[in-house]
Amino acid sequence: MKPADIKAMGVSHTHPDHIGNVEMFPQAMLYVQKAEYDWPGANNEPRFKPSHPVELLTGDKDVFGDGSITILSTPGHTPGHQSLLVKLPKTGAVVLSGDAVHFKDNWDNRRVPSMNANKELTATSMQKIADTLDKEKAQLWINHDKAQRDTQKMSPEFYD
């Protein structure tokens, strides 16, 4: 698979460790919340190249219309943060929390990191994730939690 084969991508939010390679896929439709896209960057720079194809979201999106991949609006860490609910045939449902949850400890204790853009929205988004985990019987994958990562398969292994 080449970068040009990628048709679409979603980003959780626009911190540099989450969007650094977006322009390796200049033709791919970018799914991003409008609130994140419109959030001014350093020196008022846009967060993405204005030429990049984009679909601006204002809430959740069932990407393929079959419930297999759902973007969940989870603002708070940044104004337009989003998470991803993925339903895999063998693994089952997984929520990829981006930075809506930083570490298992702040999830377990519902602590909001002080760097977050909005404390109340973060707490509301954590509750939305908790409700989604219950409803979908989903696992929570916390992207920055190294202890959890150390228990997970890494490329070239995969989940299906």
Applying CB under 5 A, which residues contact Zn ion? 15, 99
Q: Give the largest CA-CA distance in the chain.
A: 46
Task: Find tokens 């650094």 and name the residue.
Answer: 20
Residue by residue, DSSP assigns 48-99 as S-TTS-EEEESS-EETTSSSSEEEEE--SSSTT-EEEEEEETTTEEEEE-TT
Distance of closest approach, residue 99 Cβ to Zn ion, in angstroms:
4
Of 77 and 128, CB closest to Zn ion: 77
Of 99 and 145, CB closest to Zn ion: 99
DSSP state, 102? -
Of 31 and 79, CB closest to Zn ion: 79
Distance of closest approach, residue 27 Cβ to Zn ion, in angstroms:
26
Of 30 and 36, CB closest to Zn ion: 36
Cβ atoms 54, 29 nearer than 8 A: yes
Sheet containing 8-10: order of strands:
8-10, 29-33, 54-57
Burial of 51 (0-12, 13-18, 19+ CB in 10 A): exposed
Distance of closest approach, residue 36 Cβ to Zn ion, in angstroms:
11
Distance of closest approach, residue 157 Cβ to Zn ion, in angstroms:
26
Distance of closest approach, residue 147 Cβ to Zn ion, in angstroms:
19
Of 98 and 132, CB closest to Zn ion: 98
